[in-house]
């Protein structure tokens, strides 16, 4: 039960899954078939402000531009705000600014819905726990569940039919030397949304049957390796998990391919460098960009090999 909205600003980081969320058991509630584990991107994320709209009509802006109500971002944001308005006439002004460089070509739905959840909770003066906010953010976008927290975050798939136990919690681990690099490949809009790609894969890919159990085992293993700070084992498993996810899509009928020739060329270069001793591993999501994980001592080698790399320090401050 919420009162009248007030002005409230919030921030949430974007995140990259080391063990992927791919496939829903409940499509309306964004309940996953498997648990996932991510690393948040520190200052790369979304700043969102929610305020009562003086003009009396809803207004949504993104990166300084007032959006047409027909755009996907505006309609999704307002539909999400309706969860808080619950039928009351409370026009809102929602202002979002992403700090993720556009050139990085990263989707921002994770940080966007997490920041919007925090801002709406604040605006409607709801004092919810972070676990509860994570659960609400999930309704906007699955990966937003994890963006409520910084650092390493696990989203447990949960068992309850209503999703009441499907939210993320942080792992109590700091790893100051942990690094992420984004290798931008294609910064244009993606060919299929992750939602459509996921559902189509679940519905048609004969390889998908092998995914949920393997992904659950990968998630547990990666969590254990994060706790042990065993970088090699973590990296190997994260890369294998991402490639297995893409294999399920490639077997979908018709196939979905987010990875382009340029993505594969980066992987070939990475694998060749790894034979010569480079300790870096790749992960890819529903887009062509390649993300690398490595430790601080490998940073010079990574940026020499990939001059276009944008390096993120997840445990900076």
- Burial class (CB within 10 angstroms; exposed 0-12, middle 13-18, buried 19+) of 36: buried
- Residue 31 tokens read as 């309940």
Judged by CB, which is closer to ligand PMV: 50, or 284? Answer: 284
On the 0-12 / 13-18 / 19+ scale of CB atoms within 10 A, 262 is middle
Q: Please, what is the minimum distance in Å from the beta carbon of residue 64 to ligand PMV?
A: 24
Q: Is 44 a residue that touches ligand PMV (CB under 6 A)? A: no
The token duo for 122 is 């604040």
Stretch in the footprint of ligand PMV (CB under 6 A) among 16-24, 82-90, 125-133, 212-220: 16-24
**Would you count residue 17 as binding ligand PMV (CB under 6 A)?**
yes
Q: What is the per-residue binding string for ligand PMV in 93-122, x denoting contact by CB under 6 A?
A: ----------------xx------------
Interaction pattern, residues 148-177, with ligand PMV; x per rule: CB under 6 A: ------------------------------
Query: From residue 253 to residue 292, what is the string marking binding to ligand PMV with x (rule CB under 6 A)?
Result: --------------------------------xx------
Span 176-215, contacts to ligand PMV by CB under 6 A: 194-195
Q: Quick check: helix, strand or coil at residue 304?
A: helix
- Using CB under 6 A as the binding rule, whether residue 239 contacts ligand PMV is answered as no
Cβ(137)–Cβ(129) below 8 Å: no
Q: Please identify, using beta-carbon distances, which residue of 19 and 59 lies nearer to ligand PMV.
A: 19
Eight-class DSSP state of 221? H
Q: What are 147's two structure tokens?
A: 């963006």
Count other Cβ atoms within 10 Å, centred on residue 128: 15
* Cβ–Cβ < 8 Å for 15, 38: yes
DSSP-derived 3-state class of residue 279: coil
Identify the residue among 20, 118, 237, 246 touching ligand PMV (CB under 6 A): 20
Torsion of CA 254, 257, 258, 261, to 10 degrees: -150
Contacts with ligand PMV by CB under 6 A lie at 17, 20-22, 36, 109-110, 141-143, 194-195, 285-286
């Amino acid at each position: 039960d919420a009162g009248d909205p007030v002005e409230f600003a919030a921030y949430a980081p974007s995140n990259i899954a080391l063990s992927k969320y791919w496939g829903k058991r409940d499509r309306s509630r964004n309940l996953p078939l498997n648990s996932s584990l991510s690393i948040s991107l520190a200052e790369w994320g979304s700043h969102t402000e929610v305020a009562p709209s003086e003009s009396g009509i809803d207004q949504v802006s993104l990166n300084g531009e007032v959006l047409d109500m027909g755009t996907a971002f505006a309609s999704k944001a307002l539909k999400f705000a309706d969860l808080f308005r619950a039928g009351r006439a409370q026009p809102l002004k929602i202002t979002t600014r992403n700090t993720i460089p556009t050139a990085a070509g990263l989707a921002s739905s994770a940080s966007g819905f997490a920041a919007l959840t925090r801002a709406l909770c604040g605006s409607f003066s709801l004092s919810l726990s972070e676990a509860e906010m994570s659960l609400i953010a999930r309704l906007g976008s699955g990966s937003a569940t994890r963006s409520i927290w910084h650092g390493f975050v696990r989203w447990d798939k949960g068992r309850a039919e209503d999703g009441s136990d499907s939210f993320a919690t942080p792992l109590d681990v700091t790893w100051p030397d942990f690094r992420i690099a984004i290798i931008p490949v294609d910064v244009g809009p993606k060919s299929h949304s992750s939602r459509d790609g996921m559902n189509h894969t679940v519905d048609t890919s004969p390889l998908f049957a092998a995914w949920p159990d393997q992904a659950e085992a990968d998630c547990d293993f990666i969590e254990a390796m994060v706790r042990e700070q065993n970088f090699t084992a973590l990296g190997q498993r994260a890369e294998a998990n991402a490639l297995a996810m893409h294999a399920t899509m490639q077997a979908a009928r018709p196939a979905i391919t987010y990875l382009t020739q340029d993505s594969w060329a980066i992987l070939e270069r990475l694998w060749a460098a790894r034979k010569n001793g480079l300790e870096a591993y790749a992960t890819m999501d529903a887009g062509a960009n390649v993300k690398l994980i490595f430790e601080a001592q490998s940073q010079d080698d990574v940026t020499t090999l990939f001059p276009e790399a944008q390096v993120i320090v997840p445990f900076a401050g």
